[in-house]
Structure 1
Amino acid sequence: MAQHNTPTDDEKAAAALPFPTVRSIGISAPFHWIARGLADLKACPIASLFYGFCFTAMGLLVTFVFEHAYQYTSAVSTGFLLLAPFFAMGLYELSRRRELGQPCALAPTLTVWRRNAGNIAVFAAVLTVIFLIWARASLVIFAIFYTKEMPNLSGFLSQVMAFENLEFLLVYFSVGLVFALLVFAVSVVSIPLMLDRNQDAVTAMIASIRALALNPLPLLVWAGLIVSLTLLGFLSFHLGLVVLMPIVGHATWHAYRELVAPLGETQPAG
């Protein structure tokens, strides 16, 4: 006898949501997001810096991999940059609470993922698959270009710095860029949208892709800022990550607020 599953209230609410209206923004918008992110950090320093130390721990992991299994470094670094939104959920919640005039408490942000756990899990699975494919592609590229013996760390770095084995470098970094752009495209506003509106994962990813398609230059500037601030954090012996990553996390919430119109606004802002 066939069984019929009755939709839950949350599923009914998600199904009733209209497709998010994506706005056009100016090329200077990412710099305003950074300024607002800094303001959130100053307003919620203790909770924000807690997440900053979490990012620093991730940075130390990347360094460890670089020193002991450097052929995975590009994949792990890509994961750091593009899986970071999951670790930034608490920062999004802090920014949201500040908007609502609520206290900057750390405890409620630690379990904010429960608000839409199923769809966040789907999105996490998508990024995990992409990440694993890139890790495998990274090893395949090394295997193709180093058929006899893998170079040691110092040899690999000397090739990068001196642009030796140029074909390998072009292929390696070009493939990495493709994967990075793919994940960036589906994650621009996905998690904030899922947390804020209980939106389903597929709609959230499509909205992110639309945001990038509608605002390619501003969002490429935004991607460049994220990468630049992250590199700056690494170059400061990871100490900068404690402050810079919370700023980026808070700024991402403000990016979502500007890119996605509030419910009820049906026409994109020009």
Structure 2
Amino acid sequence: MEQQALDRGTLPKLQINRLRMDDVKAAFADGWRDFRSYPTFGLFFGAIYALGGLFIAVMLTYYHLPWMIIPVAIGFPLIGPFVAVGLYEISRRNQKGEAISWKAVLAEVFRQRERQLSWMAFVVLFIFWIWIYQVRLLMALFLGFRIPATLDAFVDVVLTTPPGLLFLTVGTVVGAVLATILFTATVISMPLLLDHDVDFVTAMLTSMRTVIDNPAPMLAFGVFVAALSILSLIPLFLGLLVVLPVAGHATWHLYRRAITAT
């Protein structure tokens, strides 16, 4: 397997491995195996994510902003990598043969507040905020100030009027760009920060280099996860109960295949 060394001085020497589509398939297979081995943990973290989505939808309805439900629901999976930290820890412990318990997993999750992962959380939430802001901006540009007051009316305007279709097209392109940037910066950096004491800038650069050096398999992984995440939103976010833990475990295994630390 071809490798490229990244010299980080006193930090762990990180090597980016060449990936193939078989590695992506194997990562998902391993992720599914971890979920089946520890379903209670997976459902717990998936429930946090799903309930968070439902809470946002309820609050938007309460504040008479139902037309924001769809943009928020589409952008909501962007924060998935941060929520999946506990799942990375489960896969890490399972892979190393360490004991897996609620105390050990949750203690490691809370310990991340004192490490560089907290800075990555800021990056993730900042890009999510940009997503929401650009949606509001595009609505003002293409739909003006007569945004429908109900979700059904909003969907009708977006799908049946020229301004709505233009808003949908431009918003999709902008959203795809933001999602690609975030995926590139976090897909490897999140599990790397959990696994090693490196700074978040090094982790982000390593993640970006990994995607750049392995564009086809990495982007295929991202597109598949994104498609599953969007589909899982349809039944009241309930699909996230399974999709999030499987994707989280799979991300860990893809990271382990992509990066070798010495």
Normalising by structure 1, we get a TM-score of 0.83
d(CA) in 2 for partners of 1:132, 1:59: 15
Of 151, 155, 158, the residue aligned with 1:157 is 155
d(CA) in 2 for partners of 1:251, 1:192: 11
**% of aligned pairs identical?**
33
Of 110, 123, 128, the residue aligned with 1:126 is 123
Deviation at 1:22, TM superposition (A): 1.2
**Deviation per CA, 1:37-61, whole angstroms, max 9, x where unpaired?**
1111121122222112112212323
d(CA) in 2 for partners of 1:75, 1:123: 23
What corresponds to 2:79 in structure 1? 83
What secondary structure is seen at the aligned counterpart in 2 of 1:22?
strand
What corresponds to 1:101 in structure 2? 97
CA shift in 2, pair 1:47/1:148, >3 Å: closer
d(CA) in 2 for partners of 1:66, 1:185: 30
Deviation at 1:81, TM superposition (A): 1.5
**8 Å Cα contact 1:188/1:211 also seen in 2:** no
Deviation at 1:75, TM superposition (A): 5.1
Return 83-92 or 45-54, whichever deviates more: 45-54
Deviation at 1:70, TM superposition (A): 4.2
Unpaired runs of 5+ residues, structure 2, are 1-7
Deviation at 1:120, TM superposition (A): 1.2
CA shift in 2, pair 1:220/1:73, >3 Å: farther
What corresponds to 2:196 in structure 1? 197
**8 Å Cα contact 1:22/1:260 also seen in 2:** yes
CA shift in 2, pair 1:202/1:71, >3 Å: farther
d(CA) in 1 for partners of 2:112, 2:143: 47
CA shift in 2, pair 1:191/1:232, >3 Å: same
**8 Å Cα contact 2:75/2:131 also seen in 1:** no
**Deviation per CA, 1:140-193, whole angstroms, max 9, x where unpaired?**
111112224112322321234446423222221111111111111100111110
Q: How many residues align?
A: 250
d(CA) in 1 for partners of 2:183, 2:221: 10
**8 Å Cα contact 2:116/2:193 also seen in 1:** yes
Deviation at 1:83, TM superposition (A): 1.3
State the 4+ residue runs in structure 1 displaced beyond 6 angstroms. Answer: none
CA shift in 2, pair 1:71/1:254, >3 Å: same
CA shift in 2, pair 1:190/1:80, >3 Å: same
Deviation at 1:15, TM superposition (A): 6.4
- After TM superposition, the structure 1 = structure 2 runs for residues 241-256 of structure 1, keeping only pairs within 5 Å, are 241-256=240-255
> One-letter code of the match for 2:86?
G
CA shift in 2, pair 1:119/1:150, >3 Å: same
Of 142, 146, 155, the residue aligned with 2:143 is 146
> One-letter code of the match for 2:115?
G
d(CA) in 1 for partners of 2:52, 2:143: 29
Residue 58 of structure 1 pairs with residue 56 of structure 2: no
d(CA) in 2 for partners of 1:187, 1:21: 17
What secondary structure is seen at the aligned counterpart in 1 of 2:198?
coil
Residue 216 of structure 1 pairs with residue 212 of structure 2: no
**Deviation per CA, 1:195-214, whole angstroms, max 9, x where unpaired?**
10111100000011111111
Return 155-164 or 28-37, whichever deviates more: 155-164
d(CA) in 2 for partners of 1:124, 1:235: 26
Deviation at 1:79, TM superposition (A): 4.5
**Deviation per CA, 1:103-141, whole angstroms, max 9, x where unpaired?**
321222113241573311221222222222222221111
**8 Å Cα contact 1:71/1:138 also seen in 2:** no
What secondary structure is seen at the aligned counterpart in 1 of 2:115?
helix
What corresponds to 2:226 in structure 1? 227
CA shift in 2, pair 1:180/1:66, >3 Å: farther
What secondary structure is seen at the aligned counterpart in 1 of 2:238?
coil
CA RMSD of aligned residues (A): 2.3
